[in-house]
Amino acid sequence: MTVSVSAAPPRLVMRGIVKRFPGCLANDGIDLVVEAGQCHALLGENGAGKSTLVKIASGVLSADAGEIFWEGAPAAIGSPAAARALGIGMVFQHFSLFESMTVAENVALGTGDPSPLPALAARIAEVSARYGLALDPQRRIADLSVGERQRVEIVRALLQDPKLLIMDEPTSVLTPQEAQSLFGVLRRLVAEGRSILYISHKLAEIRILCTAATVLRGGRVAGTCDPREETAASLGRMMIGADFAPPARAAAAPAPGEPRLVVDRLSMAPEMPFAPALDAVSLAVHPGEIFGIAGVAGNGQAELLRALSGESLAAVAEAVRIDGVAVGHLGPRRRRACGMGFVPEERLGRGAVPDMSLADNTLLSASRSEGMLSRGLIRFARARQFAETVIGTFHVAAAGPDAAARSLSGGNLQKFIVGREILQKPRLLIVGQPTWGVDAGAAAAIHRDLIALAQEGAAVLVVSQDLDELFSICDRIAVMCQGRLSAARPVRATTVEEVGMLMGGVFHLDGTAEGPGHAPAP
């Protein structure tokens, strides 16, 4: 299955690729050269054009203009099947697996392999053993961790014997330890002469893994380089086009008085099959404190956020308390009246109605606190005025209060939603993924705003997958895994490695953490 390494033509050349969507020039004359046996990084912020370029290379989209050469010969990649036939394999960021089927069945479906399942299972076992990708072909996807699911995708791609493997943000769902073992696999693939096109915006991992990089910015190539010879700062400058300063967290930890938010043995049944249940989650957040919850996506964070916001109600009212008041049975509007603000994970479609104006969108959460209602009728002038204040105070780039929420970029909409909550002066703010898919400038602004809010005495709870973010803004961090929450540790007394172990479900590091690993719930 090894591929011969030759000094001859590059494996993939894309020249002058142009792709236009209505209202957006996604790729504007992009050149990309991937050599044989090279791990090539494709770097760029959200919206820089990475995904579009990769979809063209894998036959999902066709370019409006430009040429593609495969091993020196012109190639037309008209469909994903054509890409597979050439030897291009793809591992997507979002997995396309059937939860209720086994690994082997999923591979058979994904590759259209007509060989009988036992033979296929044997080949899966062989490939996974050769690359150290431990995988049991007979297990059901629903029982696998996210890291294992990604292995299924990788093995599925490797069974096609690809010469070029495209990986889209592969570590975004992995713990640091899982990411390390993935890097080992990728290095072996490169050593066999395969090429890898590695898409990411994480500068550190690109510097240790890749030997060449193409940086995209706003649909154009901002530069090419050897990432091993660059610093994270210089790569970041190429990617963003400007320097950005990480937020500075004031050192003084607040003296713990009465906690503002208490979650006391909160348990929730799963809402859907295969969704995690919350299992006796306990935590306390004090005024002036930023409390972080880390964890790999899909381990109950979304369920916890819904239980905190009041979208799902707790069985016991005392399981959630704000300033000592039991609110577990109250819905979102009653909890807001208790001084809670909430920024959901999905900004477009939960935090904002895409087709409504920013002014109308303020009515979602600020209607009562900002006096926008009068006898059941809406005072539109108040809503507009509030939206204008949010736009001005938080430097939201928008056409004005009448702009539709969907017309804003992700970062600007997030600034608007965070600003909408902060301006209501919440005593407690709960934020899900504050900077997910947000450009670096907006992320820094949001971090500053959250820190300022905490310094004014509010309690802030942040749920995030981004460990760098949590370590830079939080006072204490707890880790969510399979619906359980570890004990909280002060940020200064813990390390990324330790949190990574907890993310992987190792809950008994020093014997003091109370998360009892795999023991049944009391």
Smallest gap from Cβ 399 to other proteins, in A, equals: 12
CB nearer to other proteins: pick between 259 and 351: 351
Nearest-angstrom CA–CA distance, 32 and 13: 6
Q: Are the beta carbons of 217 and 239 closer than 8 angstroms? A: yes
Q: Which of residues 285-344 bind other proteins (CB under 8 A)?
A: 309-311, 331-334, 336, 342, 344
> Rule CB under 8 A: is residue 356 a binding residue for other proteins?
yes
CB nearer to other proteins: pick between 168 and 360: 360
**Per-position DSSP letters for 370-384, written without gaps between them:** TT-EETTEE-HHHHH
Q: Is the dihedral of CA 478, 414, 277, 99 positive or negative?
A: negative
Q: Quote the longest CA-to-CA distance of the chain.
A: 77
> Rule CB under 8 A: is residue 492 a binding residue for other proteins?
no
Tokens of 3: 């591929």
Smallest gap from Cβ 55 to other proteins, in A, equals: 15
Smallest gap from Cβ 22 to other proteins, in A, equals: 4
Kindly indicate which of the ranges 91-99, 195-203, 290-298, 351-359 contains the residues binding other proteins, using the contact rule CB under 8 A.
351-359
> Rule CB under 8 A: is residue 62 a binding residue for other proteins?
yes
Tokens of 39: 């791990």
Q: Which of residues 66-95 bind other proteins (CB under 8 A)?
A: 76, 78
CB nearer to other proteins: pick between 324 and 376: 376
> Rule CB under 8 A: is residue 365 a binding residue for other proteins?
yes
Nearest-angstrom CA–CA distance, 128 and 418: 44
Smallest gap from Cβ 418 to other proteins, in A, equals: 14
Kindly indicate which of the ranges 115-123, 248-256, 363-371, 470-478 contains the residues binding other proteins, using the contact rule CB under 8 A.
363-371
- Per rule CB under 8 A, count of chain residues that contact other proteins: 36
Residues 6 or more apart from 134 whose CB is under 8 A from it? 128, 151
Report the residue from 350, 427, 448, 508 that binds other proteins according to the rule CB under 8 A: 350
Q: Which amino acid is at 41?
A: A
CB nearer to other proteins: pick between 217 and 420: 420
Report the residue from 355, 456, 497, 514 that binds other proteins according to the rule CB under 8 A: 355
Cα Rg, the chain, nearest whole Å: 24
Smallest gap from Cβ 316 to other proteins, in A, equals: 20
> Rule CB under 8 A: is residue 363 a binding residue for other proteins?
yes
> Rule CB under 8 A: is residue 65 a binding residue for other proteins?
yes
Question: What is residue 339's three-state secondary structure?
Answer: coil
Q: Which amino acid is at 218?
A: G
Nearest-angstrom CA–CA distance, 268 and 236: 41
> Rule CB under 8 A: is residue 29 a binding residue for other proteins?
no
Smallest gap from Cβ 262 to other proteins, in A, equals: 21
CB nearer to other proteins: pick between 104 and 340: 340
Smallest gap from Cβ 350 to other proteins, in A, equals: 4
Smallest gap from Cβ 61 to other proteins, in A, equals: 11
Question: What is residue 116's three-state secondary structure?
Answer: coil
CB nearer to other proteins: pick between 363 and 451: 363
- Cβ–Cβ contacts within 10 Å for residue 346, how many? 12
Q: Are the beta carbons of 335 and 309 closer than 8 angstroms? A: yes
CB nearer to other proteins: pick between 368 and 395: 368
> Rule CB under 8 A: is residue 373 a binding residue for other proteins?
yes
Q: In sequence order, what E strands does 11-157 have?
A: 12-21, 24-34, 39-43, 65-70, 73-74, 88-91
Report the residue from 114, 116, 273, 376 that binds other proteins according to the rule CB under 8 A: 376
Closest to 120 (Cα-Cα) out of 98, 135, 131: 135
CB nearer to other proteins: pick between 410 and 516: 410
CB nearer to other proteins: pick between 195 and 362: 362
Nearest-angstrom CA–CA distance, 470 and 294: 7
Nearest-angstrom CA–CA distance, 222 and 238: 6
Smallest gap from Cβ 359 to other proteins, in A, equals: 11
Q: Are the beta carbons of 400 and 391 closer than 8 angstroms? A: yes
Report the residue from 346, 402, 468, 497 that binds other proteins according to the rule CB under 8 A: 346
Question: What is residue 406's three-state secondary structure?
Answer: helix
Kindly indicate which of the ranges 9-17, 237-245, 370-378, 471-479 contains the residues binding other proteins, using the contact rule CB under 8 A.
370-378
Nearest-angstrom CA–CA distance, 18 and 376: 52
Phi-psi region of 430 (alpha: psi -120 to 50; beta: other; left: phi over 0): beta
Question: What is residue 3's three-state secondary structure?
Answer: coil
CB nearer to other proteins: pick between 27 and 128: 27
Q: Which residues bind to other proteins, rule: CB under 8 A?
A: 22-24, 62, 64-65, 76, 78, 309-311, 331-334, 336, 342, 344, 346, 349-356, 360, 363-365, 367, 373, 376-378
